[in-house]
Amino acid sequence: MASKTKATPAAGGEVLTYNKGTFRNSALVRQQTLAAYLFLLPALFFFVLFVVVPMVMCLVTSFFDYRMGKPLTFVGLNQYIKMFQDPTFLKALVNTFILVIVAVPTVTAFSLWVSSVVYKFSAFKRSFFRCIFYLPVVTGTVAVAVVWKWMFNKYTGLINYVLSATGVIDQNISWLGDARFALGCIILILFTTSIGQPIVLYIAALGNVDPSLIDAAEVDGANNFQVFWHIKWPQIMPTTLYILVITTINTFQCYALIQLLTSGGPNHATDTIMYYIYYQAFKLNDYGYGDAMGVILAIIIAVLSAIQFKVAGSGSGD
């Protein structure tokens, strides 16, 4: 086999050539590779044990009738067929998509808007606003849910109190107990708990945009929108992509808020796939069915993430 050669300019401009096969010792490469794998091994071990193995088990058991106290029975695609004939699952699927479609763009756009203002502040003020917006992220979901539950309370809630006092409503509303409002309330809470991380990331990303490019564009007469669209937006695209993917995944996996606030009600108005998986697996002990829904959810998230990578990736390439 012919060995590869590479030309490199020497200091004096003379072109030297070296033979890779001559300068690289294959034993050394093997050692380096082995060392790399050994360093990876501990993390890989836990990743395989706690992520890959459960994923594979989930996939396998989705083809079985797997319930507590019942013999494991192979049922082929029956769980998947049952799933798409289950009106509660379909309702949960629709609700989850509504959450994603509304929450992800809103969170991303709002975060970008706030960040584009905050990143210009002095370091002290920037830190202050970062803290404020990040507080809901570090506050426990349970605490957040308790506060919101109180605010939405039909009898003693702050929202009804304010709306009654200002004459907007004449009768108290059960915000979380009324199918017309419940999902909207969940979206609002999800929004407030989701914007912290994107804002911090956007502030950092905007701060890293090369100011000389902005100066040059402004000297050339570019207005604010043109500076944003042609200079900043392409440079923060990787951050946007990350935020889109992470927010999408988190929204698809919305469970705790539902469990703590509505249990999927009223009339399944706030059922999400993740909550329904929990209900089937842990309340009814129908693990096979829960696993099948988990597989479908994973596929949906993977496909949407791939689309986001494709679209946003091509955008950043521009």
Partner 1 sequence: MKKQLSLLLAAGMTAGLLAGCGGSTSSTATESTASSTSSAATGETSGDNLSADITMWTYPIGQFSDADTVNSIITKFQESHPGINVTVEYLDYTNGDDQVTAAIEAGTTPDIVMEGPERLVSNWGAKGKMLDLSDLWTEDAVADISATSQAVVNACKGADGNYYEYPLCMTTHTMAINKEMFEAADALQYINEDGTWTTENFEKALQALKDSGVDTTMIVYCGGQGGDQGTRALVNNLYSGQFTNADHTAYTTDSDANKKALQQLLDWSNEGLISYDAAAQASDELQLFANGTVAMTLCWNASNQAQYASSVTFTPMAVAFPSDDGVPELCGGIWGFGIFDNGDDTKAAAAKEFIKFLCDDPEQGPESVRLTGFFPVRSSFGDVYTGTEDEDRMAQFSSFMQYLGDYYPVTAGWAEQRTAWWNMLQQIFTGTSVDDAVATYTTTSNDALAAAAA
Residue 98: burial class (beta carbons within 10 Å; 0-12, 13-18, 19+): middle
Interface pick for partner 1 out of 28, 123, 138, 219 (rule CB under 8 A): 28
Is position 228 an interface residue for partner 1 (rule: CB under 8 A)? no
Q: Interface residues for partner 1 in 256-315 (CB under 8 A)?
A: 261-263, 265-268, 279, 282-285, 287
Whether 228 and 214 have beta carbons less than 8 Å apart is answered as no
Name which of 126 and 149 has its Cβ closer to partner 1.
149
Q: What is the DSSP letter of 6?
A: E
Q: Residue 131: which residues within 8 A CB-CB, separation 6 or more? A: none
Sequential DSSP letters for 215-253? HHHHHTT--HHHHIIIIIHHHHHHHHHHHHHHHHHHHHT
Interface pick for partner 1 out of 19, 35, 211, 309 (rule CB under 8 A): 35
Is position 57 an interface residue for partner 1 (rule: CB under 8 A)? no
Listed residue (201, 265, 273, 208) closest to 239, CA to CA: 201
Is position 177 an interface residue for partner 1 (rule: CB under 8 A)? yes
Q: What's the closest the beta carbon of residue 174 comes to partner 1, in angstroms?
A: 5
Is position 174 an interface residue for partner 1 (rule: CB under 8 A)? yes
Name which of 118 and 144 has its Cβ closer to partner 1.
144
Is position 226 an interface residue for partner 1 (rule: CB under 8 A)? no
Radius of gyration for the chain, computed over Cα atoms and rounded to the nearest angstrom: 27
Which residues in this chain contact partner 1 in the complex, by CB under 8 A?
28, 31-32, 34-35, 38-39, 41-42, 45, 68-70, 149, 152-156, 174-179, 182, 261-263, 265-268, 279, 282-285, 287
